[in-house]
Amino acid sequence: MCDAPAPHAIAPRSGVAFTLDRGQRLTVIDPQGEQVADLLAYNRHDIAEVLSSGRTLDYASRIYLTTGDPLYSNRSNVMLTIVADTVGRHDFLMTPCSKDTFRIIYGDTDPHRGCFGNLAAALAPYGIGPDQIPIAFNCFMNVPIDAATGAITVEPPLSRAGDHITFEAQADLIIGLTACSALQSNNGSFKPIHYRIDTADAA
């Protein structure tokens, strides 16, 4: 058996885009702990079909997703299935952080472009524009909800060094992935994210 390929590294506060073939597995790794990664997926053959928070949560009838859960597109097709998860707490409610996030929430006068800007830049070579960026599946993000009031809070991720989540592609995809840029989401610091692509047989 061949050794697993070495993971790719995403530098703090940056993002990448790449293709994933149907049947391949994407493992997103938090190498240091308490670091969020924003994940997007598009149908490689028709980029108007994109990962959908609304469809996925509707069909799951719950907001916390983990091993065995499918992630649906805006056309109700399964794009990814979670096949392994060492954390069990991720967010599919909050939009990628952006310049406006930092301006409105943090009061920054010279805001970072955030995950939104990083994703837009990384996905541009695939013909995907900023208005085509939906809510991301935020790996490792921890957003509790008050059952009585509906209030949401952003708490430190539950992930520890080496924790990971693995997805299996159910279609040929374009993936956008970041090391999140928001202090609040990452317990006050910025760290890298690693990822690895395997065939299903090798995973």
Contact 16, 148 (CB under 8 A): no
Q: Cα separation of 114 and 177, whole Å?
A: 12
Both tokens assigned to 11: 């530098």
Element (H, E) at 116: helix 114-123
Contact 156, 141 (CB under 8 A): no
Both tokens assigned to 104: 């409105």
- Model pTM greater than 0.85? yes
Residue 189: pLDDT band with limits 50, 70, 90: very high
Q: Which amino acid type is present at position 171?
A: A
Residue 203: pLDDT band with limits 50, 70, 90: very low
Average pLDDT, the chain: 95
Q: What phi and psi values does residue 185 have, to the nearest 5 degrees?
A: -70, -25
**pLDDT score at 57:** 98
Reported as a single tens digit per residue, the pLDDT across 138-179 is 999 999 999 999 999 999 999 999 999 999 999 999 999 999
pLDDT above 60 for 47: yes
Contact 91, 143 (CB under 8 A): yes
Give the whole-number percent of the chain exceeding pLDDT 90: 89
Residue 108: pLDDT band with limits 50, 70, 90: confident
